[in-house]
Amino acid sequence: MKKILLVAGARPNFMKIAPLYHELKKYKRFKPIIVHTGQHYDKEMSDFFFHDLELPEPDIYLGVGSGSHSEQTAKTMTGFEKVLIEENADAVVVVGDVNSTIACALTSAKYRCTKSLRSHRTNLPLIVHVEAGLRSFDRSMPEEINRLLTDQIADILFTTCQDANVNILKEGINKNKIFFVGNVMIDSLKNVKKKITDKIIKELKLEKRKYAVLTLHRPSNVDVKKILTGILQALNRISREVPIIFPCHPRTQKQIRSLSTYKNYNLKGIKDIGKNKNGIFLIPPLGYLDFMSLMANAALMLTDSGGIQEETTIFGVPCLTIRENTERPVTVTQGTNRLVGTNPKRIVREALKILSSCKQKGNNRRIRRPKYWDGRTAGRIVHILLKKLSD
């Protein structure tokens, strides 16, 4: 059997490895092994996601925990090297752009370079990067560094869009390593679509298409007081039109509450939803199914996340990305995403424009899906792995 290590470091990674795990399990010649580095770990939230995605408990848990980028990368490399030695795997699959992605790819590359391992005929695992080639062209982002370096190390690069292929080729990577297969996150969405219900909408006493959803977590937005203050001012104005539901990480909440202007914003708790028609409602982070339901039925999505730009494209939900750039330009050219930066006036202007249009169009939404965002990406990936691991 061919051992495949599927590496996940943070919650967005779970949605990318789940379809691959299920597809690999269809073949007797593959043994998928889930490695959870624990880069972002909350037991309750991880349990929610694994349950929603029908994943088993991770086979290996490294328990890396929080820390600086260097600390997380170093801890992951030290722990993952032991996994490589013990498992003698045929392939290491890393996904996305978190610290665990570059750490496990780099460890695998160095592991293969060790002469003593070669002399003992130990397997030299293929390094596979799923979601390769995405570029924001902003090297101040740690994720951009992770993306660039992982693609240079990988033996097989699976891309989500043609833009990504162009990016990789410009960086001098051999075209024979690159495979345009589509977006594996859409596979997860398709696989659970029948399980998505209105339960969370009813629990929060919301009306479909009459609320907005917000996610905000990037250090460039939440750690810089001037920028965070401006974003909150914009959100405060938008919340006069529709309630804004904000599944908020404790760290982001702490940053918001540290502002001297904290009490100026219409911030409310989960118990206040339904009692008030406007405001910014901070609620705990949600499981995958509940969050997908909340997003799919929103009038507007506001985010600084990468994956959400893709999911809103599939749902046809208007999305405002509170960033100056995006590594997923296909969601702008072919989807529902608009880049608005962090300028408060621009955020408000674009949000009000969308909300006005939503009232006029009602439930009519035009959905445009980029090529291969069809829920069959995992199948294409595994078909290629079958061939590569047989060569």
- The catalytic residue positions are 217
Longest Cα–Cα distance in the chain: 70
- What order of strands is seen across the sheet that includes strand 337-339? 267-269, 280-283, 244-247, 212-214, 300-303, 319-321, 337-339
CA gap 6, 66 in Å, rounded: 21
Tell me the C-alpha to C-alpha distance, in Å, between residue 209 and each of 7, 91, 242, 243, 326: 36, 44, 10, 11, 26
Give the span between the Cα atoms of 3 and 231, in whole angstroms: 46
Those residues with Cβ within 8 angstroms of residue 29's Cβ, 6 or more apart along the chain or in another chain: 1, 2, 386
Contact yes or no for 25/32 (Cβ under 8 A) = yes
| Tokens linked to 134 | 């995405």
> What are the beta bridge partners of residue 209?
none
Query: Rounded to whole angstroms, how far apart are CA atoms 56 and 72?
Result: 25
Element (H, E) at 351: helix 344-361
**Would you list the DSSP string of 254-299?**
HHHHTSTTGGGS-EEEGGGBTTBSSSEEEE----HHHHHHHHHT-S
Comparing CA positions, the residue from 165, 5, 36 lying closest to residue 100 is 36
85, 191, 296, 387 from 183: Cα distances, Å: 31, 13, 18, 20
